[in-house]
Amino acid sequence: MSGNTATQSVTAIVPTAPARPRVRGTSLSQSRAARELGLKRGEFDLAVHLGCIRTVADDGGGGLHVTRAEIDRVSSESGFPETLRERVRAVGTSDGAAMLDVTTARFTRLARLGQVAPVKFYLNRYRAVVWLYLAEELRQYAADEKNAPLLTGRTPEHLRDQLDEGLDLRPRNWRGRHLGFLLRQAEDLWARAAAVASLLDPVQVAEIVRDPYERAYLNRLRPAQPAHGAPGSPAAQVAANITTAEYPDEIDWLRSDLRQTVAEAREHRPAPRPGPKAPSPPGAVQHGVPVVRASNAVRSGELACGQPSHPGEAPEKPRGLLGWLRRRTP
């Protein structure tokens, strides 16, 4: 698809974030933090996604938590909680069109052209994709005078041609925002590489990361994508199509970033690999058969060649192919 459409870029190169501090002292689960801040869980998740609320890792492996200090910081902001709710308010096409004072058809065209970028999506009962947009961003778009021609005038011909060809930048713009969120959450270079890899087809990842142990490590760190339906269901397939890069230039950018990030991660520390297999202790049993340690003579090949294991013992008669060859030797 043509990439000549002027779009509002939502993909940014996020600098490497320092390791997220571990929870020390009092902290709250995300559900408890949402209640204390007067937010619905969806509003809280979006606030974390946008960086309005900072989370920390739990020392006990219980996922991300919110410190009491962060709760106090957010709740002390001017206009809390109304201002926080407004910052994370997401609207659909109908409400978004009303905010821009345009028809829903024009709003959809603007979104497909990348003029407004979705922040969330979900699938309705008919497995149709419903896109949600930040109300705050829509207000800013409407207030910008340079956008007036697209809001009130006729859509330029070259943009109409791209729409007729099927241009729809909503999935791509969502992926750009989502990747920014994943990179902000990443604690080290391997986690950043896993975030980039999560938007690529596994075949693309395998072409870049050829080491199977590195790929396994990336899969282990792979961030969970938004769940929509049971795995393998039609709804899950629709969601997978949205969360996987599709444009050639988008794929090339992600492949290049993955290659560079993995190279930097290798220099920082190698991906974990299985250690050397420990020798079996005397008397151990493997697959129901006692493990017998071979003597130095066996390890050196003496018994295999028919040599006596102890002085005075007759050598064992060679059998098999080796014995047949010896019998035929003059």
Whether 11 is in a domain gets the answer no
Q: Which of 88, 116, 147 is the last residue of a domain?
A: 88
Mean pLDDT is lowest, of 82-96, 212-226, 283-297, for 283-297
Same domain, 82 and 110: no
What is the reported pLDDT for 306?
Answer: 42
Dist CA 173 CA 120 (whole Å) = 10
276 CB-near residues (< 8 Å, 6+ apart)? none
Whether 284 is in a domain gets the answer no
Q: Which residues pair with 90 in a beta bridge?
A: 134
> Which pair of tokens denotes residue 103?
């028809």
Tens-place pLDDT, residues 271-298: 999 877 656 565 555 444 444 443 333 3
> Which pair of tokens denotes residue 144?
């910008």
For 154, phi then psi, to 5°, come to -80, 140
How many separate domains does the chain show?
A: 3
Q: Which of 251, 270, 289 is the last residue of a domain?
A: 270
- At 325, the pLDDT band (50, 70, 90 cuts) reads very low
Whether 113 is in a domain gets the answer yes
Same domain, 164 and 82: no
Whether 150 is in a domain gets the answer yes
Tens-place pLDDT, residues 118-170: 999 999 988 899 999 999 999 999 999 999 999 998 899 999 999 999 999 99
Q: Which of 88, 119, 135 is the last residue of a domain?
A: 88
Mean pLDDT in residue range 52-79 = 86
Same domain, 225 and 206: yes
What is the reported pLDDT for 324?
Answer: 39
Nearest CA among 163, 157, 77 for reference residue 115 = 163
C-alpha distances out from residue 54 to 20, 27, 47, 51, 262, Å: 10, 12, 9, 6, 26
Same domain, 182 and 260: yes
Whether 21 is in a domain gets the answer yes
- 3-class state of residue 324 by DSSP: helix
Whether 185 is in a domain gets the answer yes
Tell me how crowded residue 236 is: count the other CB atoms within 10 A of its CB.
Answer: 17
| Helix pair 189-197, 248-268: axis angle to 10 deg | 160
Q: Which domain holds residue 136?
A: 90-168
Same domain, 74 and 161: no
243 CB-near residues (< 8 Å, 6+ apart)? 175, 178, 198, 199, 225, 226
44 CB-near residues (< 8 Å, 6+ apart)? 30, 33, 34, 37, 53
Dist CA 20 CA 17 (whole Å) = 8
pTM of the model: 0.74
**Any idea what DSSP says for residue 58?**
-
pLDDT > 60? residue 313: no
Same domain, 181 and 242: yes
Mean pLDDT is lowest, of 95-104, 108-117, 235-244, for 235-244
What is the reported pLDDT for 284?
Answer: 52
Whether 291 is in a domain gets the answer no
Whether 276 is in a domain gets the answer no
Q: Which residues pair with 29 in a beta bridge?
A: 65
Higher pLDDT, 330 or 171: 171
Tracing tokens 């011909």 back to the chain, one arrives at: 157
Nearest CA among 8, 29, 51, 10 for reference residue 185 = 51
Same domain, 180 and 128: no
Tens-place pLDDT, residues 21-56: 444 457 899 999 999 999 999 999 999 999 999 998
